[in-house]
Amino acid sequence: MRRLSFHEEIEKNKKKSWLLTFLVFSFLLMTFYMISLFFDYTQRIGIIIVGFIFTISYILLNWFYGDKIILSSLGAKEAKEQKYLQLNNVVEELSIAAGIPKPKVYVIESPEMNAFAIGRKPKDSSIAITTGLLEKLNRDELSGVIGHEIAHISNYDVRFSFLVATLVGLVVFLSDIFLRNLKDSGHHKNKGSLLIVIGLVFALLAPIFVRLVQFAISRKREFLADATSAKLTRYPEGLASALEKIMRHNKGQMFVSEAISHLFFVDPNKTHVDYLFSTHPPIEERIRILRSM
């Protein structure tokens, strides 16, 4: 098997980000078109134009402010240097090792052990750590987890993941609007049963599409981030030991929206993952690979 090039993976992620944006944007415009079919012909053009403007505005709003919105929704507080000296030191050390600016550091009050990184690019990125993780990991284990999140930033995984969180949320929102219009389809009998059938199929496929978009964040990204963490810390056992503690401790009770659950170090809502239907690889497999390094 050919060895992975980190530079190649970064370039792939950048290209995937643009492709994902194009595909989902096209899907969103199609959603507005489907909604417009419930209205008279003279109103359709206006609905499509409004939909186009709304979609662009939504994407731009989340692109520039989405990280703040997500951090705020999770109750994340900035980790001050004095109170969280070791945490900030570890983040700074690994940022220097990865050759990126030090991300902003946040703490989330939760007994669950987890973390995530977010941001459009390395200089605008942030890392959030739960208090449960800080309390239960030693320095080597903490370095392994931070190294993993730093890897996501330096490999541009966060941009790709962030686009998924943004666009998936909009797909769910528009799907709900469509279903509401579908319930009112009795006022549009002239549209015929075909439109109702198309609408039902569309509404049923939307959740599946959302899951497929989440699966677009390949589990390979997590394995790559683990490998990059081992490269940065020079100590794969630190991350392997952290994963063991997380596997024993976590109860999957962070109750995070499924639209952003893929951003986290481990699934915040589940303790055991179904490999076929998860964006996270099994923890046991991650530990096995780390200990084989």
* Whole-number Å distance between alpha carbons of 122 and 159: 9
Rounded Cα gap, residues 201 and 179, in angstroms: 11
Residue position matching structure tokens 């520039």: 64
Q: Can you tell me the distance from the alpha carbon of 34 to that of 139, in angstroms, rounded to the nearest whole number?
A: 54
The rounded distance, in Å, linking the Cα atoms of 12 and 157 is 10
Specify whether the CB–CB gap between 111 and 153 falls below 8 A. Answer: no
Q: Which of 149, 237, 284, 285 is catalytic?
A: 149
Q: Is 149 a catalytic residue?
A: yes
Closest CA to 27 of 159, 170, 217, 201: 170
Nearest CA to 156 among 10, 267, 291? 10
Residues annotated as catalytic are 149
